Chain A
Amino acid sequence: MDDLFYFIISKYNYWAAIILLFIGLYGMIVRNNLMKKIIGMVIFQTAILLFFVSIGVKRGATVPILKFSPDKQPLLDAAAYANPLPHVLILTAIVVGVAVLGVALALLQKIQRVHGTIEEDEILEDMRK
């Protein structure tokens, strides 16, 4: 029982990330409305980011900003701070994400202008014409 509990406790983050990942992917591939595809894309990307940040967590560690002892000496115990590297990567990835989102939305507006709809099947019909 305790093992099972411990197992769940130590893995649920990854599970959540993977579930969200596939929800997003499903939205991206299957939904017919392009806006929904974009929302799926957002979820998809954030799931990956969640996965990354989960890597950086350390039990009993605090935010990766050095604490100082009263005599102005930084306390440099690696175990005391969370792993900063994934945070850095995710900062980058978030910004990349919003960049892609902006471009996707711009394309969406143009598609609406040209085809008069953002439903995939209607667009395909419009292109066949």
Chain B
Amino acid sequence: MTWDASLLWQFDILVLVMMVICAVTALALQGLLSSAIVTGAYSFLICLMWTHMMAVDVAFTEAAVGAAISTVIFLGTAQYINRWIKKDPPREQGIKQLTLVIGVICAVMMLSATRDLPDWADPASPASTHLSPGYIEQGYHETATPNVVTAVLADYRGYDTMFEAVVVFAAALVVMVLLRRTSHKHRKVLHLRPKREGRDTVLRGAAQSIIPVMQIFALYVLFHGHYSPGGGFQGGVIFGASFILLALCYNLKFSMNRFREHLVLWCCACGVLLYAGIGAACLGLGWNFLGYAALADLLGVSGKMARSYGILAVEIGVGITVMAVMVSLYYDLASGGDLEEGL
């Protein structure tokens, strides 16, 4: 039993302890704004953890989605709710203790059961030996995509990914249907959102210089997903974040003039449509759904290159959808649905 020091366990344990602390704090704090911030910190810590676990794509996504977007929509919501929570009422206490006890028991059981789990980072564990070698060894020959994660995501398990795009699309739709409902009486609305006169120029200048870079970087992440960490999600989220930044530094109207609501919704649908359309096209060409190899004769390339191009195309679709959905979520949640004024 030798231990490979390449995994800095001291570092891991440090981060994990900090994560636990963050989690407890986020739940314990009385102020909702602060607990939202702490949750963001928690996300960043888990990004560190994942980077260190060689899961760069995941860390990338978590950084963009979990740390950035989640925090922003948390803060956006915090404008419309009571920011300070009151102590839990006494009647809850009994249930609290009961839940606590049950939870602790289950936790102890599961903790003790980890004894039989395969050792962490054990190359001989079934998970590492059963399927994944197949992906790593054949993936390049079959899809010409060095980034195995991208290959698996968009091709081997492309069906999952399509529905993943559908999930975010559905989320945007639900949020819109919920908040943008025309006929509701604004009873007991809290408007804690700041007035936007006299925005300081520093922010605007920063935005002006950062946003173009962000967008170019987003496109790079999207199109270079075959060879480097990244892909549809990450690119899409970053691109969407650029618009959110615009709205933050100027104001909601400013960014909505550049990216109107119905266009946003249209993009949400179009991205998924692109993805599913490609799948259906393959089906029309006599292959199975999402069998990109069908595109080979269409594009006049070999089967594996066709798959590579197919991956790129669906990644673009995912990118468009995710970008639009993030923007749409921000628009609706940060403005409380009236699209008057954002965070």
* Chain A residues within CB distance 8 Å of chain B: 2-3, 6, 9-16, 18-27, 29-33, 35-36, 39-40, 42-43, 46, 49-50, 53-66, 68, 74, 76, 78-79, 81-88, 90-92, 94-103, 105-110, 112-119, 121
- B103 adjacent to A113 (CB under 8 Å): no
The list of the 8 closest CB pairs from A to B, nearest first, reads A99-B171, A116-B188, A78-B133, A10-B119, A83-B132, A16-B16, A82-B54, A33-B85
Contact between chains at A12 and B27 (CB < 8 Å) = no
Residues 96-128 of chain B, each 1 if its beta carbon lies under 8 Å from chain A, else 0: 100110011011001100110101111101011
Given known contacts A39-B39, A53-B53, A78-B137, A22 and B107 CB-to-CB distance under 8 angstroms:
yes
Task: Verify B66–A26 contact, CB threshold 8 A.
Answer: no
* Residues on the B chain within 8 Å of A109, using CB: 77, 80-81, 179, 333, 336-337
Complex-state Cα separation, A50 to B76, whole angstroms: 27
Q: Is the interface of A mostly helix, strand, loop or mixed?
A: helix
Q: A65 to nearest B CB, angstroms?
A: 5
Q: Could you tell me the distance in whole angstroms from the C-beta of A59 to the nearest C-beta in chain B?
A: 5
Q: List A contacts of B110 (CB < 8 A).
A: 18
CB of A2, distance to nearest CB on chain B (Å): 8
| Chain B residues whose CB sits within 8 angstroms of the CB of A103 once the complex forms | 171, 174-175, 178
CA distance A28 to B165 in the complex (A): 27
Interface residues of chain B, those whose CB is within 8 Å of chain A, are: 1, 3-4, 6-7, 9, 12-13, 16, 19-20, 23-24, 26-27, 32, 35-36, 39, 42-43, 46, 49-50, 53-58, 61-62, 65-66, 69-70, 73-74, 76-78, 80-82, 85-86, 88-89, 91-92, 95-96, 99-100, 103-104, 106-107, 110-111, 114-115, 117, 119-123, 125, 127-128, 131-133, 135-137, 140, 146-149, 152-153, 157, 160-161, 164, 167-168, 170-172, 174-175, 178-179, 184, 186-190, 227-229, 233, 322, 329, 332-333, 336-337
Can you identify 17 A-B contacts, CB atoms within 8 angstroms? A10-B119, A11-B117, A20-B19, A22-B106, A33-B86, A33-B88, A43-B42, A53-B53, A59-B7, A59-B121, A66-B148, A74-B140, A79-B123, A82-B53, A105-B333, A109-B337, A113-B80
B103 to chain A: closest residue by CB: A22
Main secondary structure of the interface of B (DSSP, over half): helix
- In contact, B161 and A92 (Cβ under 8 angstroms): yes
Task: Decide: A24 and B55 in contact? CB cutoff 8 A.
Answer: no
Q: Which of B12, B132, B189, B329 contacts A84 (CB 8 A)?
A: B132
CB–CB B54/A63 < 8 A: yes
Q: Which residues of A contact B233 (CB under 8 A)?
A: 91, 95
- B178, A106: Cβ atoms under 8 Å? yes
CB–CB B227/A65 < 8 A: yes
Task: Assess whether B6 is in contact with A59, with CB atoms less than 8 Å apart.
Answer: yes
Give bound CA distance, A76 to B27, whole Å: 45
B103 touches A32 (CB 8 A): no
CB-contact partner of A76 in B128, B136, B179, under 8 A? B136
Chain A residue contacts of B16, Cβ below 8 A: 12-13, 16
